[in-house]
A = this chain, B = another copy of it.
Amino acid sequence: MLRSYYREDMQEEAVFSLFFRHLPERRNFMLACGLEAVLRYLEELRFEPDDLAYLGTLGLFEADFLERLSRFVFTGDVYAVPEGTPVFPNEPLLEIVAPIPQAQLVESMVMNQIHLETVLASNAARVVAAARGRPVVDFALRRMHGADAALRGARAFYVAGVTATSNVLAGQRFGIPVAGTMAHSYIQAHDSERDAFRIFAELYPETTLLVDTYDTLRGVHEVIGLFHERPDVFRVAAIRLDSGDLGALAREARALLDRAGLPRVRIFASSDLDAERIEALLDSGAPIDAFGVGTRMGTSLDAPSLGLAYKLTEYAGRGRLKTSACKRLLPGRKQVFRTFRDNCATSDVIARACERRSGQPLLERVMEGGTRVGAGLEGLDAARTRAAEQIARLPAHVRALEPAIPAYPVRVSEALHEYAEAVRREVAG
């Protein structure tokens, strides 16, 4: 397509909008995330000599086209909803305004990165809500979809309110707190569970000891035994349950620890957890103080994908629409206005970008002429803070894990509706 645009000298400004049409079944909102990765990609996108050499081998591209690619840089503007903002169907998460070859080329990676982090952050927001203030630790690395998913996922989880990650590279790269405990194999490799506990606690006095390698309650007794060995130095912070009936075992372990004079030792639980399972455990009164969450959050198992679309909505100053298959599309550059009452969001209006309306505009210019500006420069903590604040401002039934009935109201402004009709008539004619 680029080769064609260059040949035809089609270099005029295009507007592409990134949005989704429907919420997954178990989501009342999506949490926008992944903008940082997209802006970095746009800043760094270049065709290196190796890349051009490979493209040359395909037998499709002439030398002057490849030469032109060698000078490719992204020089467009980006408008986006800042990371950590709750978003709803048909609202643009991001709009790119750039000469059409540029805006077209970046499609797949822009979608890939926003899709990944938005899907994962939205799942994590539910897990965090289910935990009701208790710490949640990301244990998902081992069964996520590759290294990039694990790294960007740890970041997305942190934006959504997860406390720490076991992904040390994510700690190094993004400054996210890292946390971890021992593995079963560490305990198995020692001659006895007690030895393993003692040695580990000597190295890391305030550690979490994994008690279910052989038998969970026997493991709890070993922790208590360790306390009795040297009550003066015992500072173990928590035990970890990782199998079996977590609710029942937590209750029994709590009772054993309390009876032994160890009410300050916390109970940490993991093992195939997700928002629903955490909610059920806490509803049943399980005395669990923190959660390690892995595969189900890491793959967003209940909704691993989102129907994100990146559509041309304007070219050379004229609104554009794809009209097949009855899919409603909104032409041109847009803005979303969110209205609040008593600090609670009441509804959104999707409007033309040029409209002046009441309410908080959600999209901001984050890149101008290929350079980051405004919210495009913000750090990870700003996104995390925004997520906490903006989720708290959603209506309670939209924040809840259960399906929101009625759904959060989003409507299209009259001006945008009229513009869409006019463009539709023009395209049809």
Q: Interface of A with B (CB < 8 Å)?
A: 1, 3-5, 7-8, 10, 14, 16, 50-51, 54-55, 58, 60, 100, 104, 107-109, 111-113, 115-116, 119-120, 141-153, 166-168, 171-172, 178, 182-186, 188-189, 199-200, 203-204, 212-216, 243-244, 295-296, 298-301, 304-306, 308, 310-312, 315-316, 320-325, 327, 427-428
**B residues within 8 A CB of A150?**
112
Known A-B contacts: A1-B186, A120-B145, A299-B305. Give 11 more (CB < 8 A).
A7-B199, A60-B204, A107-B142, A107-B185, A108-B166, A145-B145, A147-B148, A189-B320, A214-B324, A296-B305, A301-B305
Lowest 7 CB-CB distances: which A-B pairs, in order? A146-B148, A145-B145, A185-B312, A148-B148, A243-B325, A111-B142, A145-B149
Determine the chain B residues whose CB is within 8 A of the CB of A107 once the complex forms. 142, 183, 185
A-B residue pairs in contact (CB < 8 Å), sample of 15: A7-B203, A8-B199, A10-B189, A58-B178, A107-B142, A108-B166, A109-B147, A143-B305, A145-B299, A146-B146, A146-B152, A184-B322, A243-B327, A295-B305, A304-B304
Selected contact of A183 from candidates B8, B104, B185, B243, CB within 8 Å: B104
| Contact indicator A182/B112 (Cβ below 8 Å) | no
Are A312 and B112 within 8 A (Cβ)?
A: no
- Nearest B residue to A115 by beta-carbon distance? B143
Chain B residues with Cβ below 8 Å from A188 are 312, 315, 320-322
CB neighbours of A119 from chain B (8 A): 145
